[in-house]
Structure 1
């Protein structure tokens, strides 16, 4: 996968690892501040047109009730009797349905996706204070089936909310993680499979037909990949002078090999990674323009720690070497396997040297300190291992753009580039060093295409994947092909997905909820004694300026505009490998051409089917794709306690990202600029230390979390829960709706917290948890629940937790 178009202009802490085909479930994110870490990559082509923002906080929500006092005494008596009967039925229904759910625990959540409530809101069950609609009964059964009511919620709210779910939902074979998000993604995959397998004549745009052809090429029912064998990758390698590791020694050819020429081809023609990463992206200090950005990269294993702490990771390093050797042997019968193994050891040695100069993500959270404005000429002085003007010109000449020594470049890791330059300058002057550089480059090209080669290549990394993730990552072919198609042609797939699966009435409700959560978030500013008045006013102004985009970009439903997005991208139904070569090159050109174009702040950076959400600081924008606006997170027919507890918290989370330790550095226009009072900054940072210490005290299998690395997400988790709760509380104060779920002896405020917690019901292998703690800016699911609720007095009040219990500690952390 191309690392250039994917490069983030916000989460710079996450780019120390390069995209790796080894890890099918742990690919680094390209989005700026995601709600969860995506398990798939999106090749982000430019997208036009966004969505609007909701204007009314409570408009259309309050349901009209007939007053109790308007009934006669006889009517009230009859109503009480009838309500009792309805209540008994409602209590029995979820129990029966819960039993059914347990018997069918391995089936997808879609079995419980009941359509919208019918009838008027002034129904008998409403007047009884009990929601007995199909949606409410199924939601109640689903929530009950996840709970472990033997656990005191004040002792461990995660176990209380999810204990039974964890026991009855073992991690499926081939997966390292299994949770609510994963189940919904599987539901979405089924929808996408159906639409990708429909007759071609029913598709309305060429882009949709391309998506279908790509999907067919991935399924490869004619076994074209097996027939071609290694021929496609060997032909590709000729563009960088072959791959020394798998070829008989040829001193003359090795002397002719030129590092800069090969790197320019790998990066700027093939669009492959290695050594460092760069992209055209929004300028952090002038978000209306595009600029070249550069950052550290170059590792195959998902974290520098695997290379540096060799004693702890010896088994993984050996498995990695075995993996590389297997791939080399599959590509060549002309070279002794032991010789290939020695060559691959040299590649690991070079990656180790790169790891040693790579800065850990936890140390890369200050955006102002990361930003270094240079020119191409300055870059030449900083890192003279390349002729940088020639290097960039080799890329931009493809789109008729000229680069000069005075052209601006933003470098986020100048020390890394300077040190990398020293390493490469040392190696490039010796025959052995040049061979090491060539083998490193060849490996990074090959590993990027292993998924598009015969099964033997795809299986070569099974042992390594198992060691890293606790799972070999295998899944049904159609599922991986759906995911891959969505990655390459996601907006074409998205057009079909939203027509099939996204209800138009979802958007107005989502807009109203966002407006309510934003209003609650802003109202809380007045309660923050650490914030000075000038900063408070500016913060309110920034919150008002946040735009939201919901569901999907409108243009994808216009066949002509959708076709224009993918331009001349050629996709054939029997050319899986070449389809990916062409799509990589297409993505590169689409990124390069942006350099001289103004920034379009209505672009989408995530495809509609994704079960995720994100905030982009350069656009001061929050985005909620159609893929997440579904049960169990969101449904028009759910009581609002459930919608606010699940989806409302997601909305609050993304809003809070605008004011976390990184987002707060960007102003209302999306520019990296100082707008906080210095004294307020100091008080804010003091409060962040509380969160850092709190989360660093949590452990998983004896391994402590990195509270500094996860700080931004922890701020968003805590602030998002608080904002969503107060938004729900404000709504409840303006509504006579007292509906609760049948079978659950919980108030609507308790239901809010339960709905929030059950979003995070999940299980992970110990290996996946270890990798998450090393890599992920998000805390593990358990602590995304108990961390925020233990900081909220409102939670303790609702569940009547005594002071000093685990969920109601004496010392609490609060920022927003």
Structure 2
């Protein structure tokens, strides 16, 4: 997926990259790589279980040429319904997350067979402090109120005693950002210059809002979520801050209405704007002149960072700052103050009254959130799967070699030769990494952290202070790899400004996507397609704007760009005609995810066929590519495996949320869209031209 890692400024930082393209001879041992300890009986049992898993998800009554998603995933929703608060969506990634959580829970609750480090023990202490929150039930409200008092007074708490003259919204948010690194109303971060990733720069711009996207705040179709959000706020103000019901209702309404006004300045993701469109290298003095006296940029920067900045910095999403300036002038001070202080403590309003099992699940999530790298490293050390990694590395080389041959083929003759040659250089620079963090110095990062098993909030605040100090230290350091926390624990992702694809440990768990004795068709159809998706991101409508070093630079010639944009428009028209629930998918200029879905599937199939042909030439037994008593051949198995990555169910109330906040189309269209554009698929399933799964006017870039 084109997982755009969003920091506090929602900057696009994570995208695809390029790699070594040298041809690799077929390693026949690695191709089969059957563990010696397994008997043939064990192997047969595992392969039968995989066959049953695939078959039990399919609905063979549906003709594959009519709707391949329903054919491949027709029984998923019945077996895995999204019908409860705990299961609003179900799918492969949710299943993978649940499996991982069981392993994480065992490690966090003391695994006698695991060798814990001093930092691991701090992670465990944090988890225990979260589970022990119930012991603080009578004191927790006061702790939150004390946190607010550190930075001022909240009108909804102080009532008539609140003095508007003493309130300075900018100083308040700057002090909060300086101590805890939490961005409110305005975002500020320090990261690599996207045009020259050898230096760090300060970025100032739009802050994250809880409902995430502009559409969630402004579209009529999402009004129900805004009303639900107001009810949530009202409940939290009453339960966690002790505000009376009538005032809580008024305050919640005012906070959400203020956020709606702020949302008019948010970047519209459907417009496909680039970082060059949204970011401008400027100075504190220039921004000060532009926004003073309403937004005192100089004071904001000086208080937040604790020093005067003379180096150039980036302003991100100028329209947000302009909109903020207008709304600060027209919004009552008490509303702004209530918004700031609610936002300050909202992340820590944990439901202490939950049943023990639900509380434990919340605490696992919180621990993964604050210690994502540590938890991934612990899982890797406990469940290291080196043989699987070797398989992934081999598959990766095949994917790169396949894309190299695509770039050199007549199929892409529409790309001018100099542009194609640079694309090959970018491909050669691409790296793939398993996110094990085995080389990470956790002692350096967390050695100074003091944790307390009985004080969750103190632990969180200590973590935030430590992380904030590390962030500000970047001003005087060369750039380090982007840390995207839990996002990099969840799915393969491409960090464009580093030109690297990262694969999380969670996705290597056996028996879901991957097992050494599964048919290679299954491996390439699942993880191969996911990694291929990330590779294509290096050359999609965003990735093509970055060079082989990870710097933003337009290396495409004018004519090739024109053809590329015309082909991109084909995807925009295709996908906007798909209906999800009771509404059409929104039409978007940006098509990075759909380009990657289509190209990644094709690339994985091409790589698989290269593997198969090499195996036949090397006299490797390929009969095991056929699952026992499975009525579909090895090519069809690839496409079925690919489709079943996206089997899912979503609660009706979530469907509008998905289309408003997710740049990826819903799962069924991640199957129907790419496969209906692919002649090889139509050939294997004998789909007549014009059938839903064999479009006449196919969209294709790579």
Q: Residues 171 and 764 of structure 1 are in contact (CA less than 8 Å); yes or no, is this contact kept in structure 2?
A: yes
Residue in structure 1 matching 2:415, options 504, 525, 531: 531
Aligned to 2:159: 248
Cα 1:678–1:767 shift into 2, 3 Å: same
Q: Does 1:783 align with 2:669?
A: yes
Cα 1:10–1:315 shift into 2, 3 Å: closer
| Partner SS for 1:248 | helix
Aligned to 1:480: 362
Structure 1 residue 591, shift from structure 2 partner: 1.6
Residue in structure 2 matching 1:32, options 2, 9, 14: 14
Q: What do residues 89-134 of structure 1 show as CA deviations (whole Å, max 9, x unaligned)?
A: xxxxxxxxxxxxxxxxxxxxxxxxxx9554799x8x9xxxxx9633
| Partner SS for 1:280 | strand
Q: What do residues 249-294 of structure 1 show as CA deviations (whole Å, max 9, x unaligned)?
A: 125x332222222111222223323212221111110011111112
Residue in structure 1 matching 2:467, options 580, 584, 587: 587
Q: What do residues 319-357 of structure 1 show as CA deviations (whole Å, max 9, x unaligned)?
A: 433332333333555x65323433333323322221223
For residues 495 and 9 of structure 1, the distance between their equivalents in structure 2, rounded to whole angstroms, comes to: 21
For residues 765 and 30 of structure 1, the distance between their equivalents in structure 2, rounded to whole angstroms, comes to: 29
Q: TM-score, normalised by structure 2?
A: 0.92
Residue in structure 1 matching 2:594, options 695, 698, 714: 714
Aligned to 1:274: 184
Larger CA deviation: 227-236 vs 656-665: 227-236
| Partner SS for 2:74 | helix
For residues 491 and 59 of structure 1, the distance between their equivalents in structure 2, rounded to whole angstroms, comes to: 34
CA RMSD of aligned residues (A): 3.0
1:483-494 superposed matches below 5 A: 483-494=365-376
Q: Does 1:619 align with 2:498?
A: yes
Cα 1:31–1:743 shift into 2, 3 Å: farther
Cα 1:178–1:752 shift into 2, 3 Å: same
Cα 1:317–1:547 shift into 2, 3 Å: closer
Larger CA deviation: 744-753 vs 362-371: 362-371
Aligned to 2:383: 501
Aligned to 1:211: 123
Q: Residues 119 and 446 of structure 2 are in contact (CA less than 8 Å); yes or no, is this contact kept in structure 1?
A: yes
Q: Does 1:799 align with 2:682?
A: no
Q: Unmatched 5+ residue regions in structure 1?
A: 1-7, 18-28, 36-50, 66-114, 126-130, 428-432, 460-473
Q: Residues 705 and 773 of structure 1 are in contact (CA less than 8 Å); yes or no, is this contact kept in structure 2?
A: yes
Q: Residues 608 and 627 of structure 1 are in contact (CA less than 8 Å); yes or no, is this contact kept in structure 2?
A: no
Q: Residues 144 and 241 of structure 2 are in contact (CA less than 8 Å); yes or no, is this contact kept in structure 1?
A: no
Structure 1 residue 425, shift from structure 2 partner: 3.8
Cα 1:676–1:330 shift into 2, 3 Å: same
Q: Does 1:610 align with 2:495?
A: no
Residue in structure 2 matching 1:666, options 541, 546, 569: 546
Aligned to 2:429: 545
Q: What do residues 42-69 of structure 1 show as CA deviations (whole Å, max 9, x unaligned)?
A: xxxxxxxxx997966344247899xxxx
| Partner SS for 2:267 | coil
1:364-375 superposed matches below 5 A: 364-375=272-283
Structure 1 residue 239, shift from structure 2 partner: 2.0
Cα 1:195–1:64 shift into 2, 3 Å: closer
For residues 544 and 731 of structure 1, the distance between their equivalents in structure 2, rounded to whole angstroms, comes to: 20
Aligned to 1:232: 143
Q: Residues 641 and 752 of structure 1 are in contact (CA less than 8 Å); yes or no, is this contact kept in structure 2?
A: yes
Larger CA deviation: 534-543 vs 797-806: 797-806
For the pair shown, the structure with the greater C-alpha radius of gyration is: 1
Structure 1 residue 608, shift from structure 2 partner: 10
Aligned to 1:555: 439
For residues 245 and 259 of structure 1, the distance between their equivalents in structure 2, rounded to whole angstroms, comes to: 16
Q: Does 1:303 align with 2:213?
A: yes
Q: Residues 155 and 807 of structure 1 are in contact (CA less than 8 Å); yes or no, is this contact kept in structure 2?
A: yes
Q: Does 1:135 align with 2:46?
A: yes
For residues 216 and 555 of structure 2, the distance between their equivalents in structure 1, rounded to whole angstroms, comes to: 39
Q: Does 1:57 align with 2:24?
A: yes
Structure 1 residue 316, shift from structure 2 partner: 4.0
Cα 1:355–1:638 shift into 2, 3 Å: same
Q: TM-score, normalised by structure 1?
A: 0.79
For residues 247 and 486 of structure 2, the distance between their equivalents in structure 1, rounded to whole angstroms, comes to: 44
Cα 1:291–1:143 shift into 2, 3 Å: same
Residue in structure 2 matching 1:694, options 550, 565, 574: 574
Cα 1:338–1:34 shift into 2, 3 Å: farther
Residue in structure 2 matching 1:568, options 440, 448, 454: 448
Q: Unmatched 5+ residue regions in structure 2?
A: 617-621
For residues 688 and 537 of structure 2, the distance between their equivalents in structure 1, rounded to whole angstroms, comes to: 31
Q: Does 1:442 align with 2:341?
A: yes
Report how many aligned residue pairs link the two structures: 690
Q: Does 1:454 align with 2:352?
A: yes
Q: Residues 285 and 673 of structure 1 are in contact (CA less than 8 Å); yes or no, is this contact kept in structure 2?
A: yes
Q: What do residues 754-811 of structure 1 show as CA deviations (whole Å, max 9, x unaligned)?
A: 1111111110112212111011111100001111101111111111211111111111
Structure 1 residue 201, shift from structure 2 partner: 9.8
Cα 1:621–1:16 shift into 2, 3 Å: closer
| Partner SS for 1:289 | strand
Aligned to 1:411: 315
For residues 439 and 282 of structure 1, the distance between their equivalents in structure 2, rounded to whole angstroms, comes to: 34
Cα 1:147–1:317 shift into 2, 3 Å: closer
1:314-353 superposed matches below 5 A: 315-331=224-240, 337-353=245-261
